[in-house]
Amino acid sequence: MGEVLTLLKAKPMYHFLEVFELLYFYSIWLHKKKQKNLLIDSFKMQNKKILIVSNFFYPEIKPRAFRATELAKGFCAKGYMVDIILPNKEIYRNNVLKIDNLNFIYSREKLITNKISTEVNNSNWSDKLKLKRILKTIVFYFFPSEIYFSYNHNMTRQIINSNKSYDKIISISHPLSIHLSVVLGKWFNENLRKAITIAEFSDPMFKGNYKSVFPLNILFGYFFSWNFEFFVVPISNATSKFTPFKVKNKIKVIPQGLKVNGIRLADYQKNDVTTFCYAGSFYKKLRNPSYFFEFLKNFDKPFIFELYLSRNDPFREYVANLSFRNGEVLIHDFILRDQLLFKLSKKDFLINFENDSTTMSPSKLIDYTISKRPILSFNKHTFDDNEFIDFVNGDYSSRVVINIHEFDINKIIEDFDKI
């Protein structure tokens, strides 16, 4: 390039062809250098190996399944060699996700058949559920619930028997027992001891105040801290739930990552009757929607409220038995994410029931934003009937706006790559 600059300073015009020739060859050199760097980067990625351990995966319709699936796809797209250890579920065997560089390892146990509930809650089921919850509350006070009921020794054994080494191991909870399997696997498998271990927590380890939790639960918090180099949480507000166990610079905030481009959406047209929608789960304490339905019962304008709920959602029967003065509530079963996004894109607006806890945030806001429909978000403390009326009238000025690119799986993979 120095020769080019020297010639450019010269006055005679006959230097022009030499300058042009040098520029031409310089551009070729730059192009080849760029290609060489890309090949080097690709080669480095192909040599990198990731192990993901999860209790959920595609085609299950659960936030943790989305988390594990998108991470696996994202790492493979970057050239990583990815192994994922899963329970031996029939649903995975019958719906294998075929991606280059992705290798499935199933726990060596009896095939877990697909368990899909075919009936809506009834009073007998509810009574049994209440008794079960009481017993679980007593047991969980003394011992971490997710470990007691969900520990799968077959997954632990599969990790211990692995003859591969990895650059990183990503353990995805819920349940917490996945983290326990990874820790035990690393203890008894020398091949895994050099890997960077990352424990992903979509939710706090324990519900409520740590002072109200039996000490053994808290000890598990320290146990995971000692055995994982990094914790990953989806929102910054959640870090306070983990700083008692882990120094803050070892807690990384990495949101849920999803494919945000190339999604099939409908060409929206305003509905004849105002139609809004909610897709997700309800919980008696964390996300109780009864206040909103009580409001809708006497709402005087026509509406259609569509719900996409699991078949055993605790509020499904309650909603089905309600009568509304001038509206209609339609209840649907969960459907695949791509199908749901297309359905959401047809609605006038979408409802997000916020958690009462500020340390947890529903990942559905990402999909809502992708659908390009206005979002009205609230909980029982922040619900404003005037804002809702504005939305019904087509005034979306109080809509929730999030930066969807923060959740782009490509960015999320980069964030994990930096650990």
CATH topology identical between 48-254 and 275-407: yes
Read off φ and ψ for residue 391, nearest 5 degrees: -65, -45
Q: What is the pTM of this model?
A: 0.77
For the structural domain made of 48-254, what CATH number should be given? Answer: 3.40.50.2000
pLDDT of residue 369: 92
HEC-encoded secondary structure of the chain: CHHHHHHHHCCCHHHHHHHHHHHHHHHHHHHHHHHHHHHHHHHHHHHCEEEEECCCCCCCCCHHHHHHHHHHHHHHHCCCEEEEEECCEHHHHHCCCCCCCEEEEECCCCCECCCCCCCCCCHHHHHHHHHHHHHHHHHHHHCCHHHHHHCCHHHHHHHHCCCCCCCEEEEEECCCHHHHHHHHHHHHCHHHCCCEEEEEECCCCCCCCHHHCCHHHHHHHHHHHHHCCEEEECCHHHHHHCCCCCCHHHEEECCCCECCCCCCCCCCCCCCCCEEEEECCCECCCECCHHHHHHHHCCCCCEEEEEEECCCCCCHHHHHCCCCCCEEEEEEECCCHHHHHHHHCCCCEEEEECCCCCCCCCCHHHHHHHCCCCEEEECCCCCCHHHHHHHHCCCCCCCCCCCHHHHEHHHHHHHHHCC
Q: For residue 38, is pLDDT > 60?
A: no
Q: For residue 203, is pLDDT > 80?
A: no
Average pLDDT score over the chain:
83
pLDDT in tens, 258-308: 888 888 999 999 999 999 999 998 988 788 999 999 999 999 999 999 999
> What distance in Å separates the CA atoms of residue 219 and residue 210, rounded to the nearest whole number?
11
For the structural domain made of 275-407, what CATH number should be given? Answer: 3.40.50
pLDDT of residue 125: 45
Q: Where are the domains of the chain?
A: 2-46, 48-254, 275-407
Share of the chain above pLDDT 70, in %: 78
Cis amide prior to 59 (ω within 30 degrees): yes
In terms of average pLDDT, the best of 44-48, 256-260, 342-346, 367-371 is 342-346
pLDDT of residue 110: 85
**In terms of Cα–Cα distance, which of 217, 220, 216, 238 is closest to 228?**
220
pLDDT of residue 116: 44
Cα four-point dihedral sign 172, 177, 178, 181: positive
pLDDT in tens, 63-72: 889 999 999 9
> What distance in Å separates the CA atoms of residue 96 and residue 88, rounded to the nearest whole number?
12
**In terms of Cα–Cα distance, which of 348, 314, 300, 310 is closest to 331?**
310
Give the CA dihedral 32, 410, 233, 221, nearest 10 degrees. -60
pLDDT in tens, 227-251: 999 999 988 888 888 888 999 999 9
pLDDT of residue 121: 42
**Residues whose CB falls within 8 Å of the CB of residue 281, separated by 6 or more in sequence, listed in order:** 287, 309, 310, 313
